[in-house]
Chain A
């Protein structure tokens, strides 16, 4: 895949370039601020954009706003957003097909990171486990109805994992996962959704309350 990367910390930017290349991607451009990010996407037309939320000049949410601008001009452009901290307000407006939201620390888990990148590029939704954990803490009451195993499955759904990936993580069969999911959706009064992506959004919307 051709990637445009935006990250203002030079050291980390270089590390990320190395990581992306290690997994066989091409870094079309690696920039350090939001205007350069927009220009680089215009110039290179990448398959996916990886951007830090907080960048010069304002050091607030320039990267995020640039990503929205880019997606408005190129609907469906996959974007993986890296953040220093969990920002619940963003999770609400952010989550959509082909959008990922990961904490920066997650970069250290290189395989997880590369996996998330692939899922976002394929039009999936990826949510950092920490975000999901916080959401689960907030909506604790109705979740009491779930068994501990079902809660684990719910967390993995919310992170944007497919049935196959959930089965791999929990070391169970896909059929067992499907059964858990049906039970969870029934207990939470959520409509059964065939497609993974719509299911993620429904679960996230539910958790946000």
Chain B
């Protein structure tokens, strides 16, 4: 890590490089400025308290929003001390000019209330912790360094102690930087807008998956409307030709062979189309499509999927192929007698579980298809986990957010 972007990254770098860098000093400055700000606010509140509890509470209640707005801005600005990446202003632009529109926008948006909450938190707790981190981090070296100035310590003892203090002084950099980094991360999470760059990357990957899916559907449609219809018609005509030929004649035999071939090709094409993009999924959605796969599974599969509505195409397709691949693996490796496919939409997340009563010991690394599907799940910001202890049961769990 040659150029750490923030205090925590710097902390994880090589010790000498870290200690020599500006990061510990920046962290110290960050914590001190936080403590000063917090102490000033606490002082203001105590002065107000002397004027009466009711007045103080009323003042705090009215002041918390404007104070939060100012404090939020100050905190974001201060973040630069320990984080090179600027924290974006999370506030929306008011829809119309004028102070009333501005006030309405501010009061409605979440960012304002987050800032108010964060300010309250700073005043009540964080600045104490800032001071505490500095005090605790610097306590031992500080005491040692002060030894020569203690009245009843002889210089012969005081100097070596001070030397020892100077040597271990750098250790204070670690707790101070660690807390500064943690506090900055918290401040960024509460006060910044979500990382626009990262969100864009996720969105563009999702777009890619969508484009991919649209293309697969087009291929499916072409195969279905073209090749499949022609093959059915061909099989039909060959079947009719068989009827017209004298049974047992060489021509009848050859036509019979051709007919069987055509039926076989039709079955294979059906299988191929199912692998590209199953029509039943497009038409009827995930529960029906999974019923269809489960119906073809050699290991009896029970389906229990309850969804309140159709899900985004990419989610449906990914979940479908996960189930399809999982069932194939159950049939190939598990020696299971039965399996269960469960699906629910829980807090806008599709949760699918495929469990079997087989011997367990499934290795996620061995199933390359499954690994590929894990990638597809990941692109949708989902997760896939496999639990398969020796002796079973095996549970494959997939979660895909659909919000």
Which residues does A use to contact B, with CB under 8 Å?
Answer: 9, 11-12, 14-16, 18-19, 22, 54, 59-60, 84-89, 104-105, 107-111, 133-134, 137-138, 140
Contact = CB atoms under 8 A, between A and B. Distances in A.
B342 to A, nearest CB: 16
B284 A87 contact: yes
Contacts, number: 88
Given A85-B280, A110-B239, A11 B233 contact: yes
A138 B295 contact: yes
Contacts of B84: none
A104 B233 CA distance: 10
Given A9-B225, A108-B262, A15 B295 contact: no
Nearest to A134: B295
A22 B243 contact: yes
A31 to B, nearest CB: 17
Given A87-B280, A89-B288, A134-B295, A15 B267 contact: no
A12 B266 contact: no
Contacts of B229: 9, 11-12
Interface string B293-320: 0111100111000000000000000000
Given A19-B240, A140-B300, A88 B279 contact: no
Contacts of B277: none
Contacts of A14: 233
A131 to B, nearest CB: 9
Interface of B: 224-225, 229-230, 232-233, 235-240, 242-243, 259, 262-263, 266-267, 270, 278-280, 283-284, 288, 291-292, 294-297, 300-302, 338
A169 B273 CA distance: 32
B288 A87 contact: yes
Contacts of A107: 232, 235-236
A42 B243 CA distance: 34
Given A9-B229, A88-B291, A105-B267, A15 B237 contact: yes
A176 B233 CA distance: 38
Given A134-B295, A137-B300, A111 B243 contact: yes
Contact of A108 (B224, B235, B296): B235
A106 to B, nearest CB: 10
B82 to A, nearest CB: 58
A196 B280 CA distance: 32
A137 B297 CA distance: 8
Contacts of B259: 108
A107 B297 CA distance: 24
8 contacts: A9-B225, A84-B280, A85-B292, A86-B292, A104-B232, A105-B270, A110-B236, A138-B294
Contacts of A59: 283
A196 B146 CA distance: 105
A154 to B, nearest CB: 16
A12 B227 CA distance: 11
B374 to A, nearest CB: 28
Contacts of B292: 85-88, 134
B295 A88 contact: yes
B109 to A, nearest CB: 42
